[in-house]
Amino acid sequence: MRALTRGHGGRASVSGVTASVFGGTGFLGRYVVNALGRIGSQVVTPYRGDELESRRLRLMGDLGQIVPMPFELRDAASVGRAVAPSSVVINLIGKAYPTRYYTLEQAHVDAPRTLARAAAEAGAAHFVHVSTVAPPPSAVVGRSEWFRTKAAGEAAVREEFPTATIVRVTEMFGAEDRFLTRMGEWTAKYRAVFMAGDGTAPVQPVHVRDVAAAVATAARDVEGFRGRDVEVGGADVVPLAEVVEFVKAATKRDVPAVAVPTMVMEAAVGLTGKRLPFVNATPRWSVEDVRREAAGVALSTTPAEGVLRLSDMGIVPVTYDGEFGEEVLRRFHKGGDRSALFYTH
């Protein structure tokens, strides 16, 4: 693959990577496709539903390098067509809540198993699967279908494609995220920020761009990442309450931070966060989000033997409380987007 590389590393060069990116239209997926496209990779972007959802991805590579392709997970033939052209298959498929089309079990376990098996059968050189950093065992984690299915999905990938790279991430932030954006919306809409638990749970927010860089690096260096585990976390580990204070300051809204017992929050969000077509089609917060927040997700101080982190890839993560986090929250500024130009307090 490296022998085919030519050019200066831009979108018009040839990286030697041909990748199928499943979940390319999602939050992380758009950044991964862009990270691969900007180094001259050819990227197949399988999509469900309307082709318009993937059309914007075409701009992330040179002419003809980004190839949308319809597929359906339950249709083995369409999955086979989507992985056939590629030497690397990347799975970014994930759900924050179950829907009538796919449960968490189907999205987090059956889907990666299907894709890993198809990649192996097609003779792909590499498979990269994105999962989550697991928090310490607790009652909250024990109730979480999201954490359970994520762990089961990793096991399924290893069974079907033993040399796969597993990339585990902490909470991601960036434009259109489910983390800072949700808190910013609450400051503007509800004049408060609600926290599951007492606000002491640790979080390690990592920018979605840094995660995408790690995934693209793993996809490009097959030999260096074959069979490896990668842990991706942000620059700082802080209590949840500290993130809330940053959100309040960045939005210029002095609103209360309300700590809610986890069980109470689960019950409340079980009603308000339930997905209902036409009424609440894309819930901003789900019961599983509550459990993730209460559990706290952060990297251990010392990685396990053989586990790679961003520093091993030469990637320096940005902080959540700097310009990147402020940009996410800019549209929730009190007084409008331009308010920061006129006052800072």
pLDDT reported for residue 4: 47
Burial 235-258 (b: 16+ CB within 10 A, else e): bbbbbbbbbbebbbebbbbebebe
How far apart are the C-alpha atoms of 152 and 167, rounded to whole Å?
A: 14
How far apart are the C-alpha atoms of 152 and 156, rounded to whole Å?
A: 6
How far apart are the C-alpha atoms of 95 and 319, rounded to whole Å?
A: 25
pLDDT reported for residue 338: 53
CATH topology of domain 2-174+204-235+297-318: Rossmann fold (3.40.50)
For residue 337, the SS3 value is helix
Q: What six digits make up the tokens of 225?
A: 């990442």
**With 50 as the cut, is the pLDDT of residue 24 above it?**
yes
**With 60 as the cut, is the pLDDT of residue 43 above it?**
yes
pLDDT digit string, tens, across residues 80-93: 999 999 999 999 99
pLDDT band at 130 (very low <50, low <70, confident <90, very high): very high
Q: How many CB atoms lie within 10 A of CB 31?
A: 25
pLDDT reported for residue 337: 55
Nearest alpha carbon to residue 1 among 66, 87, 63, 64: 87
**With 90 as the cut, is the pLDDT of residue 108 above it?**
yes
Average pLDDT value for residue range 153-174: 98
The number of C-alpha atoms within 13 Å of 342 and in the hemisphere containing its C-beta is: 8
Higher local confidence (pLDDT), 79 or 342: 79
**With 90 as the cut, is the pLDDT of residue 312 above it?**
yes
pLDDT reported for residue 1: 40
Answering whether pTM is above 0.85, one says yes
Mean pLDDT, all residues of the chain? 91
Q: What single letter denotes the amino acid at residue 72?
A: E
Indicate the range of 31-45, 232-246, 259-273, 313-327 predicted with least confidence: 259-273
pLDDT band at 201 (very low <50, low <70, confident <90, very high): very high
**With 90 as the cut, is the pLDDT of residue 200 above it?**
yes
pLDDT digit string, tens, across residues 52-102: 888 889 989 888 899 999 999 999 999 999 999 999 999 999 999 888 889
pLDDT reported for residue 339: 52
**DSSP one-letter string for 236-304:** --EEHHHHHHHHHHHHT----EEEE-HHHHHHHHHHHT--BTTTBSS-SS-HHHHHHHHH-B---SSPP
pLDDT digit string, tens, across residues 216-229: 999 999 999 999 99
Q: Where are the domains of the chain?
A: 2-174+204-235+297-318
Q: What single letter denotes the amino acid at residue 198?
A: D
For residue 18, the SS3 value is strand
pLDDT band at 14 (very low <50, low <70, confident <90, very high): confident
